[in-house]
Amino acid sequence: MDAITNKIWMDGEFVDWDKATVHVLTHTLHYGWGVFEGIRSYQCHDGASAVFRLKEHVDRLFGSCHIVDIPIPFTKVEITEAILETLRLNKLKEGYVRPLVFIGDGEMGIYTKNVNVRVAIAVWGWGAYLGDEGLEKGIRAKISSFTRLHVNGQMTKAKVCGNYVNSILAKREITAAGYDEAILLDTEGYVSEASGENIFIVKNGVIKTTPRTSILPGITRDSVITIAKDKGYPLVEDRFTRDELYLADEAFFSGTAAEITPVREVDNRLIGSGSPGPITSDIQNTFFDVVKGKINKYKHWLAYV
């Protein structure tokens, strides 16, 4: 977090940042049964502020609740309005939005008859997730020894709180080894995604990304696919192995927090020339133009605050 704000929306009301607290017997704190979203708002070229793909993020939040069977006590319209209102109230022109659906206190145990579902929405200023230099020059990644979640275990299409222990293990492992980001393989050994980003590679002008099977289907990933296809780049969603990744001409991550971050090295092997390639740079530049409302064709992705 680069800058905290004044108010947090909690269960339909605004409370001061410092007072947005919960009881230690909060169910989600013990078992990880809760879901969240990560959304960015950008200050556009004309000074206005807009949330990027708000509808898709709210849809995914409700989809996550559906997958893990949490009855969220608000409508999509209410959550959408609450997000916009939280940004307005905090006068945050550009930053990160974190809606969290969690189970409050009242009952303990894996099975509880009454499920006390609560919702919080916080916003804060957050700069380049993997550093400004990483955004510009690319980052150094390492394949983690931890395997990505099994599709019939934690289920990767829901953005579940507990799923992130897997990401944290991978990230802490590779950070301790001196790298910037962890790439995880799926349970069959194919490249899955990074600890908090989806992955793309480029080989001989063709862009490839992991199919939705074992990943969180990123909204930034979906945006990249649309932008790349609109630009006429051939793109396939297909599984690939770590050696195919080593041999790629270019590689990059996509994610709300990480935006479009080039990958310059994996497991001490340079990717291409070791600096962001032309297709990566083209997609990255276009992405930043899109989120800042500079391209009319994609303005329907922006929800003005």
Q: Which residues are catalytic?
A: 159
Q: Does 198 bind ligand PPE (CB under 6 A)?
A: yes
Residue facing ligand PPE at closest CB distance: 38
**Strand 269-270 and strand 13-16: pairing?**
unpaired
Residue 169 as a binder of ligand PPE (CB under 6 A): the answer is no
DSSP-derived letter for residue 127 is -
Interface pattern 271-290 for ligand PPE (x via CB under 6 A): --------------------
- Only segment of 1-9, 84-92, 239-247, 249-257 that touches ligand PPE (CB under 6 A): 249-257
Segment (H or E) for 133: helix 132-137
Cβ neighbours of 169 (radius 10 Å): 16
The SS3 call for residue 177 is coil
**Mask: binding to ligand PPE, 10-29, rule CB under 6 A, as x and -?**
--------------------
CB 4 within 8 A of CB 17: yes
Q: Is 193 in the site for ligand PPE (CB under 6 A)?
A: yes
Number of residues that bind ligand PPE (CB under 6 A): 16
Q: Which is nearer to ligand PPE, 151 or 247 (CB)?
A: 151
* Helix or strand (DSSP H, E) at 141: strand 139-143
Q: Which of 58, 197, 240, 287 binds ligand PPE (CB under 6 A)?
A: 197
Residue 211 CB, nearest approach to ligand PPE (Å) = 14
Q: Are 64 and 197 in contact (CB under 8 A)?
A: no
Answer whether 37's CB lies under 8 Å from 120's CB.
Answer: no
| Least distance from ligand PPE to the Cβ atom of residue 114, Å | 29
**Chain-centre distance of CA 164, in angstroms?**
12
Backbone angles phi, psi at 75, to 5 degrees: -90, 165
Task: State in angstroms the smallest separation of the CB of 223 from ligand PPE.
Answer: 8
Rounded-to-integer distance, Cα 183 and Cα 117, Å: 33
d(CA 73, CA 41) in angstroms, rounded, equals 25
| 34 part of the interface to ligand PPE, by CB under 6 A | no
Task: Write out the binding residues for ligand PPE, residues 208-227 only, by CB under 6 A.
Answer: 216, 218-221
Binding positions for ligand PPE, rule: CB under 6 A: 38, 167, 193, 196-198, 216, 218-221, 254-258
